């Protein structure tokens, strides 16, 4: 597929590095770059364990377009220095998702992961774009049915940062707040390093993407199963109560790397608000023969996300009509379950 605009920021046919490429969203990002004619190097902690990715992309795009590289410890200084040789862009998705409630074991590691990748970009002259997968939680964790929250390009989730570090009694109910703090502080430190060192690499552009919950199909369900936020739909499908299409979020990362007009930006991947009752209603309508849990969450996210319009316009620039609907995202998330392919998968 051809790039849908002239003069991309990195030339078609060049090589892109995707860190943590075995992840649910990261694998989609790699797939989108390959589809547009780029070559991809993907890093994982164990290349042998993730060889299925090479087989998948070799089948889809031909041998030699995708390479898998082992980076065992991404917190070590210089961890990516070899992997970035000759690449034109880095898409950094690898982070800590342990949901440990102790910020001392999460936040410093998340910051180190992000800075190591950016420092590798600074050392490698061929890298012209650096894109980090952040999170909507770096801007806010919405409170249901509460009006007045307005997110702009200058909004940071300082509330979660303060709550995460408030005292040493780190109970499990604070795991989400600590995750949000790690996303907030790691992105803040990334922008700070870039601002403080920009004169060393004025040609290097930094962009970040802030998705909310991401639904959609796995690239290889048999090898990936239901991971990350796609697991939430799997849980509801199986009766366990515990926001976007993956392709849209992947395409926003591509736009952040190749779109000539996207420079020094945060892209807010907020397509539409939802709650779990809405998700359950979609699942019931799409699968009337199946029984799902009772409704359990009616609260609405009333936050105003001003920069979301920019992200939707970029999707149009990349050849889409706009956001994928929530209904279609859920349908793709459950495709193999509907067909009985992965009904009994254990993850």
pLDDT of residue 200: 97
268 contacts: CB under 8 Å, gap ≥ 6: 136, 139, 151, 210, 305, 307, 308, 310, 311
Q: Are 311 and 269 in contact (CB under 8 A)?
A: yes
Side-chain half-sphere CA neighbours of 191 within 13 A = 16
pLDDT tens for each residue of 231-282: 566 565 555 544 444 678 899 999 999 999 999 999 999 887 888 888 889 9
pLDDT of residue 246: 60
Q: How far apart are CA 228 and CA 279, in angstroms?
A: 17
pLDDT of residue 241: 47
Question: What's the token pair of residue 193?
Answer: 């390093």
By C-alpha distance, which of 95, 91, 38 is closest to 253?
A: 91
Q: How far apart are CA 83 and CA 258, in angstroms?
A: 20
Whether the full predicted model's pTM is greater than 0.85, yes or no, is yes
Q: Are 33 and 12 in contact (CB under 8 A)?
A: no
pLDDT of residue 347: 44
pLDDT of residue 259: 97
In the three-class reduction of DSSP (H, G, I as helix; E, B as strand; rest coil), residue 43 is classed as: strand
pLDDT of residue 185: 98
Mean per-residue pLDDT pooled into runs of 10, the chain (347 residues): 87 96 92 96 96 96 97 91 96 90 95 96 98 95 82 94 89 91 97 98 97 74 61 58 62 95 94 84 91 84 90 94 86 77 49
């Amino acid at each position: 597929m051809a790039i849908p605009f002239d003069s991309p920021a990195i030339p078609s046919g060049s090589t892109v590095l995707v860190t943590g490429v075995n992840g649910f969203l990261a694998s989609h990002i790699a797939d989108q770059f390959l589809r547009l004619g780029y070559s991809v190097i993907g890093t994982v902690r164990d290349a042998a364990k993730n060889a299925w990715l090479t087989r998948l992309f070799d089948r889809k795009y031909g041998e030699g377009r995708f390479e898998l590289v082992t980076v065992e410890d991404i917190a070590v200084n210089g961890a990516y220095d070899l992997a970035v040789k000759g690449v034109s862009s880095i898409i950094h998705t690898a982070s800590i998702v342990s949901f440990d409630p102790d910020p001392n074991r999460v936040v410093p590691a998340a910051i180190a992961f992000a800075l190591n990748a950016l420092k590798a970009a600074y050392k490698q002259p061929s890298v012209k774009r650096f894109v980090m997968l952040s999170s909507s939680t770096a801007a806010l964790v919405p409170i249901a049915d509460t009006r007045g929250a307005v997110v702009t390009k200058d909004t940071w989730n300082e509330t979660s940062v303060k709550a995460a570090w408030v005292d040493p009694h780190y109970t499990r109910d604070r795991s989400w707040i600590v995750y949000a703090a790690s996303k907030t502080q790691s992105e803040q430190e990334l922008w700070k390093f870039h601002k403080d060192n920009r004169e060393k690499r004025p040609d290097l552009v930094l962009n970040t993407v802030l998705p909310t919950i991401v639904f959609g199909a796995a690239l290889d369900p048999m090898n990936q199963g239901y991971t990350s936020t796609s697991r939430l739909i799997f849980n509801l499908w199986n009766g366990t109560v515990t926001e976007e299409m993956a392709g849209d979020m992947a395409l926003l990362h591509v736009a952040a790397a190749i779109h000539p007009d996207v420079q020094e930006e945060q892209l807010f991947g907020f397509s539409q608000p939802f709650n779990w009752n809405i998700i359950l209603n979609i699942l019931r309508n799409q699968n009337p023969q199946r029984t799902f849990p009772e409704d359990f969450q009616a609260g609405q996210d009333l936050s105003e996300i001003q920069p979301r319009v920019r992200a939707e316009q970029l999707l149009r620039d990349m050849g889409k009509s706009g956001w994928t609907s929530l209904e279609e995202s859920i349908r793709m998330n459950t495709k193999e379950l509907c067909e009985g392919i992965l009904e009994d998968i254990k993850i």
